[in-house]
Structure 1
Amino acid sequence: MPSPIPPTRLLPKDLFPSADISVCSSPLQQRGLGATLQVPPQRLHGKLGSRPWSSVIHWQQLRCVEAVGSGGFGSVYRAEYLGQTVALKKVKRRSKNRLASRQSFWAELNAAHLSHRNVVRVLAASTCVPADFQDEGSIGAIVMEFVGSRNLQQVIYESPEPLEEARCLRFSSDMAEALRFLHAHLLVHLDVKPPNVLLSPGGVCKLADFGCSLQLERERAPSSISPLLSHGCGTYSHRAPELLRGQPVTPKADIFSLGITMWQLLTREPPYTGDRQHVLYAVVARDLRPSLSHAVFASAQGRRRAELLGRCWSAEVRRRPSAEELLELLRSA
């Protein structure tokens, strides 16, 4: 099954570091990249919340406190930086696909210049990682706001606390708000799923992990998709069928993924069972979707929820609501 994301669609060609660039150089500092990726002047005083993001990490001011997560991408730590609690993400070099590792690292910075209540904010990033901060051959590190150690995956599947309808609605609205903001800036996340939605102590959802994200071009439509990164991006259970077919990326791919995530919130069950390849085939060829015969969809309100989910994961991209339309539908629910 082809992957939806080729290397050239993750970032402009200019942003790919060539083999002869030193470990401390940053593609964001290369010439000719346009205003949106220019690194603002440093401000080392005052609170981190008021600082622009930086392409330099002041390692002497950074102290790891504890590990809070790890995976194929690397490791995340709670840390102290310039007097405040932050999250430090060390992106590791994948031995089997080093190009994918670099693409993932630079894609993480697609939202670095943006700030929104429901998006985890990037504070600093660097490809120059000192030896005492290395973690499994890190190719780079990113300092982000520290939201907490809980994500929606844990809330849905590992917590005994109830997920009442009002709470599900609030979480869904938070994710739709994040996507509305990102899509307005022509940024597509492409990996919306419960583990990538962090939950603050105040119960606010924040979308994280932009390693699969794509900055769309305003001037022309996206080009055709090539099948080069067969396992490098996205999660098969949440991936839109048009991407599996190798068709162009649009913001509606995120709406499909959000629909699957909303179903998980409502049912607290995995969306599919069975072999990965069989699921992928069925999603594309047989319009397989999570079951809407669950008890939570039996009431009149539940049937309206089911109808909304059906629109979000429709095989016809044009039938899916935009993030803004989805937000309005959730507010009126």
Structure 2
Amino acid sequence: MPSPIPVTRLLPADLCPSPELGTFSSPLTKPQAGSSLQVPVQRFASRAASRLWSSVIHWKELRAVEPVGSGGFGSVYKAEYFGETVALKRVNKCAKNKLASRQSFWAELNAAHLRHANIVRVIAATTAVPADFEDERSIGTILMEFVRGGNLQQAIYDRAEPLGADRWLRYGADILRGLRFLHAHGVVHLDIKPANVLLSSGDACKIADFGCSLKLDRGCEARAVGPHLSHVGGTYTHRPPEMLRGEPVSPKADIFSFGITLWQLVTREPPYTGDRQHVLYAVVARGLRPSVDAHPVFRSEIGRRCRTLLSRCWSADCRCRPSARELQPQLDELRHGAVTSHDDTRDDVAIQKP
């Protein structure tokens, strides 16, 4: 199924689908002059992993598909592909907004050509499937690396073990490294939140779910969000005021969302309570932000410095927010000064769920 909007609005020119694509071809590969589409040059340690990089999805090699979760415009499954565990995401039609769900699928591929330790790797994607995999609700299928450790939402709210300063600062630094890399390549995520940050088996953060993302034109610092990009929105609790006002978005939108996410890591509480519309109005008109006054965690030295950092991240004026590149050394400095579990002040910087 073709995208209802020009794919060049969502993907770099050298990664756009070509009419030469076969029935089950991935749109993630470059056409070579005088030849069929070739797989990007990429080497991996294991032979099986390297076989994942193909311009087609070999459906007969897909095994043991089992549901993992669903939300937004899609469902995610755990599967085996050439004997390796992968994640399969099926982007579904939204009955209320079919255009938005199609745009969401193409937006998922904005970062597919990028490789970074703190970004979930895309293996292949297609808008066509064989008959035995056919689902009338599906728009397209994406194969990605499988990240085994759950997500930050679960780590914050569902697990009893404490999150000390050394840990939440490390998680924050991981997210910032991923954002810095994305922004350097002109990709704005626009839906940074704990549920969209996965944890690897090594306890490292990986940014996932690019269904709301935008690709900035080369040399542009911001981009207007028009009606043709109706998929853009993100989660209202993490949405910056400029997006709520319908103004052009920039990488600074992700910095605002990062600030809310870091606050959640520190406090292990939801950022806002109350009616959705009231929260949206208050964020724009009254400068509502998550509370830092009532939390003892912000009374420690690390907490006070983190409080200052947060206030810069969620500034109402996006021009006053630091970039991911500027924030990263500041957070690294906080990490180096973070107290350990043996310090007397550990109760001020480690929040444990009851």
Task: Tell me how many residue pairs correspond in the alignment.
Answer: 320
Unaligned runs of 5+ in 2: 32-36, 335-354
Unaligned runs of 5+ in 1: 1-6, 32-36
**1:332, CA displacement in angstroms?**
0.6
Q: Does 1:295 align with 2:258?
A: no
**1:316, CA displacement in angstroms?**
1.5
SS class of match (2:265): helix
Summarize the alignment of residues 1-333 of structure 1 with structure 2, pairs less than 5 Å apart. 11=10, 40=40, 47=47, 49-50=49-50, 53-135=53-135, 137-148=137-148, 150-220=150-220, 222-226=222-226, 233-293=233-293, 294-333=295-334
**1:221, CA displacement in angstroms?**
5.3
Task: Note the alpha carbon deviations across 1:269-309, whole angstroms, 9 max, x for none.
Answer: 00001111111111011110000112211222211111100
Greater relative contact order: 1 or 2 (C-alpha under 8 angstroms, separation 6 or more)? 1
What is the CA–CA distance in structure 1 between the aligned matches of 2:251 and 2:232, rounded to whole Å?
Answer: 19
What is the CA–CA distance in structure 2 between the aligned matches of 1:297 and 1:38, rounded to whole Å?
Answer: 53
Deviates further, 81-90 or 57-66: 57-66
TM, length-normalised to structure 1: 0.86
Name the CA shift for 1:235/1:88 in 2 (closer, same or farther; >3 Å): same
Deviates further, 212-221 or 250-259: 212-221
Task: Note the alpha carbon deviations across 1:179-205, whole angstroms, 9 max, x for none.
Answer: 011011011111000000000111011
Deviates further, 198-207 or 22-31: 22-31
Q: Is the Cα–Cα contact under 8 Å of residues 118 and 178 in structure 1 kept in the other structure?
A: yes
**1:325, CA displacement in angstroms?**
1.2
Q: Whose radius of gyration is greater, 1 or 2?
A: 2
Name the CA shift for 1:295/1:10 in 2 (closer, same or farther; >3 Å): farther
Task: Note the alpha carbon deviations across 1:118-147, whole angstroms, 9 max, x for none.
Answer: 000000111112343345611111110011
**One-letter identity of the residue aligned with 2:102:** R
**1:12, CA displacement in angstroms?**
6.5
Task: Note the alpha carbon deviations across 1:154-188, whole angstroms, 9 max, x for none.
Answer: 01001111111100011000000000110110111
Q: Which residue of 2 aligns with 1:34?
A: none
Name the CA shift for 1:178/1:225 in 2 (closer, same or farther; >3 Å): same
What is the CA–CA distance in structure 2 between the aligned matches of 1:134 and 1:122, rounded to whole Å?
Answer: 21
What is the CA–CA distance in structure 2 between the aligned matches of 1:203 and 1:30, rounded to whole Å?
Answer: 33
What is the CA–CA distance in structure 2 between the aligned matches of 1:91 and 1:230, rounded to whole Å?
Answer: 16
**1:29, CA displacement in angstroms?**
8.0
SS class of match (2:67): strand
CA RMSD between the two structures: 3.1
Q: Is the Cα–Cα contact under 8 Å of residues 30 and 39 in structure 2 kept in the other structure?
A: no
Q: Which residue of 2 aligns with 1:4?
A: none
What is the CA–CA distance in structure 1 between the aligned matches of 2:150 and 2:226, rounded to whole Å?
Answer: 35
TM, length-normalised to structure 2: 0.81
